[in-house]
Structure 1
Amino acid sequence: MVDILLTNDDGIDGDGLRALRDELRALGDVTVVAPADNQSGVGRKRSTHATLTEHEMGDELAGTPADCVAYGLRGMDREFDLVVSGCNHGPNMGAYVIGRSGTVGAALEAAFLGTPAVAVSAYHNVEFFPHPPADYDFSAPARVARELVERSLDAGVFDDVDLLNVNAPIDAEDPRIRVTRPDDDFDVFVDHDADVPDELTVGDGERHVALRDKFWPHTVGYENPFSDIGTVRERYERGSDRRAVIDGEVSVSPLTAPRQATHHEDLDVIVETLNAR
């Protein structure tokens, strides 16, 4: 039996969290520590103080997903074999996106604290984002996650891998699974003519600019990229997480937590020269 700490970034009442809890119970004990409200896009942000409340799902923490993992792994009188984060109500893929994702941020926090982790995100083959989540059934990605967790633990995958980032289709019963790498395609569009949102006040001498992410080359912001995905399909090689999602597959990216240092001989020469002054 496995002791699993479960969290998410959509909040403790999230539909994906409940589906994942129900599936993972087949593997062992599941303890839920999840944010009190939506914490999407906070990455690995941590808090110094947080309030804790009992919830019918488990413990509700007024903090970030990383806070939930930190509390669960260091504030509870028990040991966990694995941390699982999700199911997120939308995909988390690409090197830039997974660095900003609260779902993946929770898994990274676990990895830095010495516990292997799995981040699970769900996407729809047509709508892309499963919103509103109450209109969708998260049982398919939750089932894929349970199978991956069980087989990966048995095979010793986490002896070498710190975390798995999983993106699974919500509307496919038996999708192909592909081992992937995070794609690094990302850009930003700066709009000088965007409408000023109601919550923003622009004072004298100030200018309003909108910074809109380009996660896909044919979209700006959080538009559904699948409406014209065929125009960019070949831009993404097989083996990338984006191509797997384009093809309706389950993307599984095995990742390590710390940044890997890169050696460059010219930098060695520069440092030696500066030290010799």
Structure 2
Amino acid sequence: MKILVTNDDGLYSPGLRACYEALRELGEVFVVTPAVQKSGVGRSISIMEPIRVSEVRVNGMELYAVDGTPTDAVIIGIHEIIGELPDLVVSGINLGENLSTEAVTTSGTVGAALEAATQGSKAIAISLEMKDVYKFESFFAPADFSNAKLVLEKLARRVLEKGLPDGVDVLNVNVPERWNGKYAFTRLTRRLYKTRIDTRFDPRGRKYYWIDGVEEENAEEGTDLHAIRSGYVSITPICLDMTSRVDFSLLERWFND
């Protein structure tokens, strides 16, 4: 089995090491990842500049550092490093949860998994819930990835043996900080954050902004957010076809009327 591992937190992320450790007994693992932090870039791709790749050794792993986005890393990993379609692509373990429709369109972790699915591979995106302040400290203070590793190893083994169910292209997995030992298959919540803009001024008096958000209080039952808050591992099946499931005849009448 050939397994491609990537992330959006960069090559020094402890989540990357944890991901590698969870998968290394399941097959030949290739680690191809952005050289630096690329959170929030979604599925962006470098088409206006060249991409450079360096072979490095970090935290006991031989890996390829890509001067680009998580999507770039997947494309380079499949077509240049491995040279064929891997049996599985895993993106993560991300530092912080990736919940809601917002995350699916903005997360570099999920974006990498979507690219892998587009290329034809089975794909998993996995994230570990963390307090916001700890996400930025986790490179220096160790986080507990034991539950996330256990979940990933079990899920990856199942996907390698059985494949993904029909109609499923990516599994978006979120592991809570305090896991109750149970799993829930969920749908995406509509929003995770209420958008907030923090306006500040630099020393020269020029205005600048920090885009921020306050987490939504309500979490509808059956959603990924509700599952995480209830202590469940959330597994959300994602498909690449984002076409609205609507009766096209209704659209035709709406347009013609």
TM-score, normalised with respect to structure 2: 0.85
Q: Equivalent pairs: percent with the same residue?
A: 35
Verify: 1:259 aligned to 2:245, yes or no: no
Shift of 1:3: 1.1
Q: 1:268 aligns with which of 249, 252, 255?
A: 252
Matched to 1:120, the amino acid is I
Ranges in structure 1 where 5+ consecutive residues have no aligned partner: 203-207, 218-231
Match of 1:58 among 60, 63, 67: 63
2:201 alignment partner, SS class:
coil
Off by >3 Å, runs of 4+ in structure 1: 126-131, 197-202, 208-214, 261-264, 269-273
Paired residues of 2:85 and 2:121 also in contact (CA < 8 A): no
Deviations 1:22-65 (A, max 9, x none): 11012111100001000000000100221100012311101110
Task: Report 1:1-277 matches (<5 A).
Answer: 2-48=1-47, 49-56=50-57, 57-76=62-81, 77-124=83-130, 129-133=134-138, 134-170=141-177, 172=179, 175-185=181-191, 186-190=193-197, 194-197=199-202, 201-202=206-207, 211-214=211-214, 216-217=215-216, 232=217, 235-261=218-244, 262-269=246-253
Partners of 1:101 and 1:200 in 2: CA distance: 33
CA distance in 2: counterparts of 1:154 and 1:70, whole angstroms:
24
TM-score (norm 1): 0.80
Q: Which letter maps to 2:201?
A: V
Q: 180-189 or 51-60: which moved more? A: 180-189
Note the C-alpha offset of 1:131. 4.3
Aligned-residue CA RMSD (Å) = 2.5
**CA offsets, 1:172-230, max 9 Å, x none?**
4x621111111002542356xx322569944xxxxx6665434x23xxxxxxxxxxxxx
SS at match of 2:200: coil
CA distance in 2, matches of 1:120, 1:189: 26
Task: Give the whole-Å Cα distance in 2 for the aligned partners of 1:62 and 1:32.
Answer: 14
Aligned length, in residue pairs: 246
- Residues 195, 159 of structure 1: alpha-carbon distance in 2 compared, 3 angstrom cutoff: same
